[in-house]
Structure 1
Amino acid sequence: MYLGIDIGTSVTKAAAFDGDGRLLAVQTRPTRLSTPADGWYEQDIDDVVGSVAEVVAGVAEAAGGTPRAIGLTGQGDGVWLVDEDGAAVRPAISWMDSRAAPILSDWLADGTVAKAFRRTGNTMFPGSAGPILAWLERHEPRSLDRAATAGYCKDVVMQRLTGLRATDTSDASLPFLDPHRREYDPEVLAWCGLEHRRSLLAPVAEPVPVGELTAAAARRLGLRAGITVTSGPFDLPACALGSGIVAPGDGHLIIGTTLACQVLKDTVDTEVEPNGLTLATGTPGRWLRAMPAMVGTAAVDWVLRLIGRDHQSLEALLADSPAGARGVTCLPFFSPAGERAPFLEPAARANFDRITIQTRPSDLVRATCEAVAYAARHCFEAAGLTGELAMCGGGTASPTWLRIFADVLNRPLKLAPQPETGARGAALAARRVAEPGAGLDDWTAPEGVVEPDPARAREYEERYAAYRVRVDAARAVWRETA
């Protein structure tokens, strides 16, 4: 048995799998996201670690066995400050946080973001480690002085469980890692004014950090000490691994709170417009070109709340509005942090066009769902998708929305094994350590395929072109008002 633990922004999940990848049991526990100021998002580190202990103990009991290995994954970006023992120095600053937006705006204006992208293949946004650390340097330097590590979510949990201070190449990629040497780039740190904080970055272990469950952690989790624990990759590449993405050119789509579009590559291109991420994987010579757009199910959730409906109503609402939403169009950039892929615009904001008194609530929902699909196509065009495409995430629960994605993207969509694709990827990473050379096929076979409709795909081709025109016009306005 293998355990995969996925530490999300709002929920921690643990899933137990047998040796053939069959799901045995799942446990979940919500975590709290606090907003101490407008645009600020923080998490209590002890609460997150406690959530891991609860779900692991629960899933091990439900599965009725002792795991051979435990794999950790979780949310990326943000900054989690801890001391030498892994104890919290301050609440973790989430990837959703926008307090560092003014710093990022300055870096965009003076070329820092573009220079860093040319070196690393990774752009920065307000919730990434570079701007947040620079904000802490200006406003809370004592917090940095007290910290031993400015880490990432899964790595803090790893230290609490095993005592190991380390990160993997996927999290380390954001935003300081040289993708070829797979080491932190001192010049990028210097451009961010953080060269004197280099010691806060955890050592990079390949393919993933590996430790053993300590006696104290084992008692808390209800397991035996000495079980192998691995950390990484973080949630985006973990989902790609759990979906069986292994061939260059193949892509992966996560329809979650955010919209994560990824393509596996065997080269790094830093000469394109600075956008998105280039994530080193545990396999040398392979990178994920990731476009983690801030749009996603959160946009649809907001519209559903606006009209007083819930998720259970989504299928009926989509059925009530035809393709094209009776002419209503949407730009789905609802995040207060703007957008980070396939372009970087901290001032990006959402809007609806062509609304009249005859517009139905269902048209707003349909327009939003279509716009999120257009954003996915925009991301995959920027990322260089040429092969097959797999998908997972909460948005796949809507058959109609899946058909919209298939038609807009005009390609078959393979449904990855669900639920808990990220936890599956984490468990696979742990299995690779415990069973070197183990294959992926049994674990990652698709559950089904959604085919595009040729006629609707042609209609959406024209609507997508119009969406791109609206985005380009909006970007000019956002830059003027930033």
Structure 2
Amino acid sequence: MYVGIDVGTSMVKAAAFDATGRELAVASRPVELSLHGGVVEQDMEEVYGAVVAVLGEVTGRVPEPVELAGLTGQGDGVWLVDGEGRPVRPAASWMDGRAHGLVDRWLADGTFETVFRRTGSAMFPGCPGPLLAWLDRHEPKALDAAKAALYCKDMVFHRLTGAGPATDVSDASMPFLDPRTRTYDNRVVELLGLAHRRGLLAPVSDPVATAEARGEGLPSGTRIANGPYDLPACALGAGVTSPGDGLLIVGTCLASLVATTELDLSGEPAGLYISTDRPGHWLRAMPAMVGTAALDWVLSTTGVRHDEVDGLLAGTPPGAHGVRVLPYFAPSGERAPFVEPRLRAELTGVSLESTRGDLVRATCEGIGYAARHCLEAAGLTGSLAVCGGGTRSSAWMRLLADVLGRPLRVVEGEVGARGAVLAAAERYGVGLDAPAWTKPTAVVEPDPGRAAFYTKGYAEHLDRLGQARDRART
């Protein structure tokens, strides 16, 4: 039995697999996000407790011994811990917006672009650079008390194993890692005013760190590998490793990834290059803030249940009777395929005749247009896989295929946990059949007529977006 652990933003999961990649059991537990005034935080003890609980549940349901475990989780944010791995303060989430003023300043004075040209990382308010700089200005005592500024999965690995603080090249890619040398760029640390906090950055394990469990959640002695974080883990779990092939993760974050062997740091600074376990191979990532959280907000506001979405999409025509949604609902604005910290969502074309179905379809279409924008910017030329919670809606998958104008290789199940296991197996030299583990569950073809309609709609979306970005800057 192989166990994958995926420490998500709102849900912690553990999945057990047999040697062929078949899911044997899945356990999950929700975790809370604290949102107030643009500040988005999480209780680290709650998150870690959820990890231990789901591991205990999933291993208790499958009697086979655990061969090894792979760990992945949400990226970015700042998870400050002391020497024992205990929280110094609540974790600042990747969704946090408190550092938008610093990002605005760095956009204006050229620091933002300089960092991108050196690392391939377009900073946003919820990534470690701005958050650490904000904490250094406003909560220096918290940094003084911390041993390390970790990423989410690193905190969990530290606690599960007792191993020293460590991260991997994928998490470290935003924003301090030089993608060519796969080490921290100390000049970037200096540019962000954090040279005196350099010691908080966890050592980068290349390849990923390994250790044995201490007996919390997993049997004592179980081998664990730490990393990569959820975006590259999903790429592994979906079989996206050949240059030009892409992955769209329809989750809380709408992440678009394209495998590449070319490092191009020109063009508009946006997204990031995620270093992978293979030197010279990267994922060109456009992890947009927009995602299922936008649809969840619309569903909650309109009183629509999740099980009603497919019926509403089927009963509402393309174009949603003129209702349009720019789905940028995150408190920290947008980070891909452009950075606009003050961008906000817009809803237009609504009248007394508009229905809940119109609002739901317009939101799904808006998210689809955002995905197309990201995939084009990331350089998609090959096949496209899709995974995440959004794949549970077959109607939304058909809509996405139409909006994107290309077939979708749908990969269902716990794709991040699956990728974490594949990464762990590679690290430990355990031979698993990756093609069998990553076989798609369905292929959704676009309808030519609807695809042509949405090509025009996409052009209109880009025009509205340009106007909204202009307003956000004034």
Please give the TM-score of this superposition, normalised by the length of structure 1: 0.96
1:245-278 per-position Cα deviation (integer Å, ceiling 9, x unaligned): 1100000001111211100110111111000111
d(CA) in 2 for partners of 1:187, 1:90: 28
CA offset at residue 175 of structure 1? 0.4
Aligned residue in 2 for 1:129? 128
Residue 60 of structure 1 aligns with which residue? Answer: 59
Report how far residue 222 of structure 1 moved.
5.3
1:33 counterpart residue number: 33
Whole-angstrom distance in 1 between the partners of 2:408 and 2:236: 16
- Alignment partner of 2:39: what SS? coil
Contact 2:70-2:224 within 8 A present in 1 as well: yes
Q: Give the C-alpha shift of residue 163 in structure 1.
A: 2.1
Residue 66 (structure 1) shift = 1.8
Q: Which residue of 2 aligns with 1:226?
A: 221
Deviation of 1:110 (Å): 1.0
Residues 270-285 of structure 1 mapped to structure 2, 5 A cutoff:
270-285=265-280
Preserved CA contact (<8 Å) 1:2 1:431? no
Structure 1 partner of 2:45 = 46
**Aligned-partner residue type, residue 113 of structure 1:** F
Aligned equivalents of 1:227 and 1:303: distance in 2?
43
Quick one: distance in 2 between partners of 1:455 and 1:386? 22
| Whole-angstrom distance in 1 between the partners of 2:63 and 2:292 | 34
CA–CA distance in structure 1, aligned partners of residues 387 and 218 of structure 2: 31
One-letter identity of the residue aligned with 1:425: G
Percentage identity across aligned positions? Answer: 55
**1:477 Cα deviation from its structure 2 partner:** 1.1
Specify the alignment match of 2:323 in structure 1.
328
Distance 2:289 2:427 in 1: 33
SS in 2 for 1:233: coil
Query: 2:18 aligned with 1:18, yes or no?
Result: yes
- What is aligned with 2:151? 152
> Structure 1 stretch 356-365 or stretch 185-194: which is displaced more?
356-365
Unmatched runs of 5 consecutive residues or more in structure 1: none
Distance (whole Å) between structure 2 residues aligned to residue 89 and residue 157 of structure 1: 15
Asked whether the equivalents of residues 124 and 130 of structure 2 are also in contact (C-alpha less than 8 Å), the reply is: yes
Secondary structure of 1:41's match?
Answer: strand
- Equivalence for 1:167: 167
Tell me, yes or no, if structure 1 residue 381 matches structure 2 residue 376. Answer: yes
> What is the letter of the counterpart of residue 468 of structure 1?
L
Deviation, 1:438, is: 4.0
Q: Deviations over 1:110-151 (max 9, x none)?
A: 111111000011111111000100011001111111111000
CA RMSD of aligned residues (A): 1.1
Q: Which residue of 1 aligns with 2:445?
A: 451
Contact 2:425–2:431 under 8 Å retained in 1: no
1:82 to 2:81 alignment = yes
Q: Once the two structures are superposed, what CA deviation does each residue of 1:68-108 show, in whole Å capped at 9, x if it has no partner?
A: 11111001000000111211111111111111111111111
Q: Counterparts of 1:299 and 1:172 in 2: how far apart (Å)?
A: 27
Q: Distance in 2 between matches of 1:39 and 1:478?
A: 16
Alpha-carbon distance in structure 2 between the residues aligned to 1:353 and 1:99: 28
Whole-Å separation in 2 of the counterparts to 1:368 and 1:12: 26
- Structure 1 residues 468-479: aligned runs within 5 Å: 468-479=462-473
Listed as ranges, the gaps of 5+ residues in structure 2 are: none
Matches within 5 A, 1:320-399: 320-399=315-394
* Alpha-carbon distance in 2 for matches of 1:469, 1:44: 40
Give the Å deviation of 1:400: 1.3
- Match runs of 1:177-196 below 5 Å: 177-196=177-196
Counterparts of residues 298-337 of structure 1 (less than 5 Å): 298-337=293-332
Bigger shift: residues 158-167 or 441-450: 158-167
- Contact kept? 2:20, 2:437, Cα under 8 Å: yes
For residues 115 and 303 of structure 2, what CA distance do their matches in structure 1 show?
A: 44
Counterpart contact for 1:207–1:281, Cα < 8 Å: no
* Number of aligned residue pairs: 473
Which structure 1 residue ranges, 4+ long, deviate > 2 Å from structure 2? 433-439
TM-score with structure 2 setting the length: 0.98
Question: How far apart are residue 436 of structure 1 and its match?
Answer: 4.7
CA distance in 2, matches of 1:211, 1:437: 19
